[in-house]
Amino acid sequence: MIVLSGTIGAGKTSLTQMLADHLGSKAFYESVDDNEILPLFYKDPKKYAFLLQIYFLNKRLDEIKGAFVNDTDVLDRSIFEDSLLFGLNADMGRATKTEVQIYNSLLKNMMEELPDEPHKKAPDLMVHIHVSFDTMLARIKKRGRTYEQIDSDPSLYDYYQKLNERYVTWFNNYDESPKINIDGDKYNFVEDPSAAQKVMSMIDEKISALSIN
């Protein structure tokens, strides 16, 4: 099982499809466009932060169970990132400490209910895409989701900045599985075929070294 991680606009969805096609496996995507709660969260974060987190937890567990079928299935978001996102919302006053404690406890209990195969509860490989804050903002603006735009809600600038910073620390501390970092600024794999080829080669080398292909 291979999972992607990275902040908003890093290119997770694009790289997930590229990897699945490259490996001849199945791609699993984070529920965004059909997520009825996400736009509500952007309108009223304090009211919907906890509900959104539970929604994503349920979806990610479905994805993990679905990805048991093949060793090289690709998930475009890691369940291990959710605590980072919810913790940031709590620090910004969008969720309470009690809600964070309940969420973390629920996550732990639900993960324990997965099949008793340690390598399946965590991915075989974490592929992290790091992009600069400026790149992150440019891509958010380019993809044009109204509820994500700073022009509509200036407070999102601070949220995005803190999110980008925390991902650096989160990835450095991540130890649930082998990992590889992709410089999304240096390798614009979404728009540059040569960069995409280079990224595929980097991941192939990592997979080969881990003998998971």
Residue 142 labeled ligand binder = yes
Q: How far apart are CA 25 and CA 192, in angstroms?
A: 23
20-58 core/surface letters (b: 16 or more CB in 10 A; e: else)? bebbebebbbbbeeeeebbeebbeebeebbbebbbbbbe
Length of the chain: 213
CATH number belonging to the domain at 2-210, selected among 3.30.360.10, 3.40.50.300, 3.50.50.60, 3.90.550.10: 3.40.50.300
Domain range annotation of the chain: 2-210
Residue 43 labeled ligand binder = no
pTM as predicted? 0.84
The 10 Å Cβ neighbour count of residue 212 is 16
Q: How far apart are CA 86 and CA 18, in angstroms?
A: 29
Enzyme catalytic residues: 76
pLDDT, tens digit, 9 for 90 and up, residues 6-54: 999 999 999 999 999 999 988 888 766 778 898 899 889 999 999 999 9
pLDDT, tens digit, 9 for 90 and up, residues 86-122: 999 899 999 999 999 999 999 888 888 776 554 456 7
Residue 139 labeled ligand binder = yes
